[in-house]
Amino acid sequence: MTLAVEEASGKGLKRPRPMSTNSAIATAARDLDVDVVSAYPITPQTTVVEKIAEYIANGELDAEMIHVESEHSALSAAIGAAAAGARSFTATASQGLALMHEILHIASGGRVPVVMSVATRALSAPISIWNDHSDVMNARDSGWIIAFVSSAQEAYDTVIQAFKVAEDPEVLLPFMVAYDGYLMSHTMEPVVTEDRETVLSYAPKRDYPYKLDPKKPVTIGTITDPNWYYEFKYQQVETMKVALEKFRRADEEFGKVFGRNYGLLECIHCEDADAIVVATTSYATTLKYLINTAREKGMKVGLLRLRLYRPFPVEDFLKATSGVDTLLVIDRAISYGAPVQGPLATEINSLFHSRGIDTKVVSVVAGIGQRAFKDDDAMNMFKLALESRKAAPEETIFYGVRK
Q: With beta carbons less than 8 A apart as the criterion, state whether 87 and 163 touch.
A: yes
Which residue, of 231, 258, 285, is where some domain finishes?
258
Check if the beta carbon of residue 62 is closer than 8 Å to that of residue 30.
no
Domain boundary pick from 243, 258, 273: 258
CB of 165 within 8 A of CB of 171? yes
Task: Let me know if residue 233 belongs to a domain.
Answer: yes
Residues 23, 160 within the same domain: yes
Q: Average pLDDT in the 188-211 region?
A: 96
pLDDT in the model for residue 221? 84
Same domain, 292 and 253: no
The predicted pLDDT at position 367 comes to 97
Range 367-377 average pLDDT: 96
Omega before 214 within 30 of 0, i.e. cis: no
Is residue 275 domain-shared with residue 221, that is, in the same domain?
no
pLDDT at 10: 42
Residue 200 has pLDDT above 60, yes or no: yes
Is the pLDDT confidence value at 11 over 90? no
The answer to whether position 27 is within a domain reads yes
pLDDT in tens, 124-147: 999 999 999 999 999 999 999 999
- The DSSP call for residue 225 is -
Exposed / middle / buried, residue 288 (Cβ in 10 Å: 0-12, 13-18, 19+): middle
pLDDT at 288: 97
* DSSP class of 13: B
pLDDT at residue 3, rounded to an integer: 43
Q: In this predicted structure, what is the pLDDT of residue 218? A: 84
Q: Per the domain annotation, does 34 fall within a domain? A: yes
What's the mean per-residue pLDDT of the chain? 95
Nearest-CA neighbor of 288 among 274, 269, 312, 307? 269
To 10 degrees, what angle do helices 229-258 and 101-109 make?
90
Concatenating the DSSP letter of every residue in 114-152 gives: -EEEEEE-PPPSS---S--SHHHHHTTTSS-EEEE--SH
User: Of 225, 258, 291, which residue constitutes the final position of a domain?
Assistant: 258
286 and 246 in one domain? no
* Whether residues 205 and 312 fall in one domain: no
Return the pLDDT at 12: 54
Taking residues 253-279, report their average pLDDT.
97
Domain hosting residue 339, numbered range:
265-398
5 lies in some domain: no
How buried is residue 304: exposed, middle or buried, by Cβ count under 10 Å (0-12/13-18/19+)?
buried
C-alpha dihedral sign at 176, 180, 186, 191? negative
Mean pLDDT computed over 297-304: 98
Q: Which amino acid appears at position 344 of this protein? A: L
Residue 384 has pLDDT above 60, yes or no: yes
Asked if 85 and 214 sit in the same domain, the reply is yes
Count of the separate structural domains present in the chain: 2
CB atoms within 10 A of CB 173: 26
Distances (CA, A) of 145 to 80, 104, 115, 172, 303: 19, 11, 9, 10, 23
- Confirm whether 43 is domain-assigned: yes
Does 183 lie in the same domain as 54? yes
Residue 229 sits in the same domain as residue 293: no
Please check whether residue 69 lies inside any domain of the structure. yes
Q: Stretch 7-23: mean pLDDT, rounded?
A: 76
pLDDT range class, residue 18, cuts 50, 70, 90:
very high
Residues 92 and 225 in one domain: yes
The band of 8, judged by pLDDT with boundaries at 50, 70 and 90, is very low
> Does the pLDDT value for residue 275 go beyond 60?
yes
CATH classification of the domain holding 276: 3.40.50.920
**Residue 287 confidence class, pLDDT cut points 50, 70, 90:** very high
Share of the chain above pLDDT 70, in %: 97
> Is residue 203 located within the same domain as residue 329?
no
The C-alpha angle with vertex 246 and arms to 252 and 233, in degrees rounded to 5, equals 160
Asked if residue 10 is part of any domain, the answer here is: no
Q: Are both 222 and 103 inside the same structural domain?
A: yes
Instruction: Give me the sheet containing 115-120, strands edge to edge.
Output: 64-67, 36-39, 88-92, 115-120, 175-180, 145-148, 308-310
Q: What is the mean pLDDT of residues 168-189?
A: 98
Mean of pLDDT values over 208-232: 91
User: The CATH number of the domain where 125 resides is what?
Assistant: 3.40.50.970
> Do 269 and 349 have their domain in common?
yes
Q: Model's pTM, two decimal places?
A: 0.95
Q: Region 10-33: what's the mean pLDDT?
A: 89
- Average confidence (pLDDT) over 288-299: 97
> pLDDT band for position 2 (50/70/90)?
very low
> What is residue 6's predicted lDDT score, i.e. its pLDDT?
40
Number of H helices, E strands in the chain: 13, 15
pLDDT tens profile 65-123: 999 999 999 999 999 999 999 999 999 999 999 999 999 999 999 999 999 999 999 99
Pairing outcome for strands 17-20 and 188-191: antiparallel
In a domain, 12, yes or no: no
